[in-house]
Structure 1
Amino acid sequence: HPSLPPRTLKELIAFARARPGQLNYGTGSVGSNPHLAMALFVSMAGLEVTHVPYRGIGPAMIDLVGGHLHLMMANVLAALPHIRNGRARPFGVSSSQRSSVAPDIPTIAEAGVPGYAVVQWFGVIAPAGTPPEIIARLHSATVRAVHDPQIKQRFQADGGETVGNSPEEFAAIIRSDLARWGKVVKAAGIKPDQR
């Protein structure tokens, strides 16, 4: 929130370290992508801040722009109107590259937490044991769809990008993320129904 004195991520980290437990961050729910992304940030930056779970990202954003929350991890497109009107201050984007819709905002890694990168992805999955020929047809249709110019444009307008990984590459991403986020959940002590 703009009421905080820090203007950069490095300043924010120093400010929070000097005030352990005094800052808070909100998320739309326990265990959500923004919750895990903030838990990873807090861990990598060596901070002690309080998590405030909400029942949806909307109420959390309202409290952020109202000055009741200090920090939150939000979708760039959802945050931009509040950033532009001065009711929210960006410290960095979570991806490994700057956002095409907000190129002036540095990545968290370049702004002060080297190695930090979090992206939210969506994928098409099928039940275990689905015949390979069905997987191949589903994959082919998905790749055609994500490479369609209108679909690519729509994703880009929403701040995303389309990727047509192979089923094997996608499975590797899922395995890697399960291991990565399992460690974050354990280290942060995140449990279901933590409201």
Structure 2
Amino acid sequence: MLPVANPKLPYDPVRDFASIGLVARAPNVLVVSPALQVNTVKELVALAKSRPGQLSFASSGNGTITHLVAELFNSSAGVQAVHVPYKTGVQALTDVVSGQVAFQFDSIVWTLPQVRAGKLKGLAVTGLTRSALAPDLPTMAESGLPGFEGVTWFGFAVPAATPKNVVARLNAELNRALQSRDVQDRMAAQGAEAAPGRPEDMTKLVREDTAKWGKVIRDAGVKFE
């Protein structure tokens, strides 16, 4: 994604780094204002299609993951919701709660308390599997958008020239740490799930996400200023 966001970037996220491995993945949640008369993703899509260019979505800023996941939703569902960027996710959620904006994709940690308090309606999570924090919420894929995924992920990388034996050792130690129940519990408290794996798994993800989000950025005409 970075080369598309900034063509003058002085490094290449694949060529110039060696992946150590993923640390965690954190899904977002699609939430809507209680004032909106929808209770499922399919109903939101139907409403948006009946009112092209009239529904709006909030984000924590232009080009953020909360913005790009919503643009992915626009293209995947074939709708034309309008982007309303905010300086922070909290400000954005406040206006969704009040009904000034129709919907938002945001962190499960921020949204779930509002959903449980009845201030927002949660429709789906953006991971490929349901979240242990909200097992009753379906995935976007289960809700009629096959293959839909828009998560925040974290990983470790080192300079590309790092010896392979060093990369392998770091990967082994990282995976060992991710097996710790304490580490997993701390991640869960932040809405994330440990994602142990091989260095090549992370490299593959970087390549795939660069292509995936680059297409979303180009198709939506996202401008980075």
TM-score range, shorter chain: over 0.9
AA matched with 1:104: D
Partner-residue secondary structure (3-state), 2:83:
strand
Q: Which runs of 5+ in 1 are unaligned?
A: none
1:46 counterpart letter in structure 2: G
Moved over 6 A (4+): none
Cα distance in structure 1, aligned partners of 2:174 and 2:98? 41
1:48 to 80, 95, 101: 80
1:68 to 97, 100, 104: 100
Tell me the residue number matched to 2:120.
88
Q: Secondary structure of 2:156's match?
A: coil
Match of 1:167 among 199, 209, 212: 199
Q: Counterpart amino acid of 1:96?
A: L
The residue correspondences of 1:1-16 to structure 2 (distance < 5 A) are 1-16=33-48
Cα displacement (A) at 1:98: 1.2
Q: More helix by proportion, 1 or 2?
A: 1
Counterpart of 2:70 (choices 38, 45, 59) is: 38
Q: Is there any run of 5+ residues in structure 2 with no aligned partner, and where? A: 1-32
Q: Which has the higher contact order (CA 8 A, sep 6+)?
A: 2
The residue aligned with 1:22 is 54
CA RMSD of superposed structures (Å): 1.3
Q: 2:181 aligns with which of 125, 133, 149?
A: 149
Query: Secondary structure at 1:168's aligned position in 2?
Result: helix
Percent of residue pairs identical: 39
Larger mean Cα displacement after TM superposition, 129-138 or 35-44:
129-138
Distance in 1 (CA, whole Å) between partners of 2:153 and 2:181 is 19
CA distance in 1, matches of 2:67, 2:191: 20
Number of residues of Structure 1 aligned to a counterpart in Structure 2? 193
Compute the displacement of 1:124 (Å): 0.6
Are positions 1:140 and 2:172 aligned together?
A: yes
Distance 1:40 1:85 in 2: 28
| Deviation, structure 1 residue 115 | 2.2
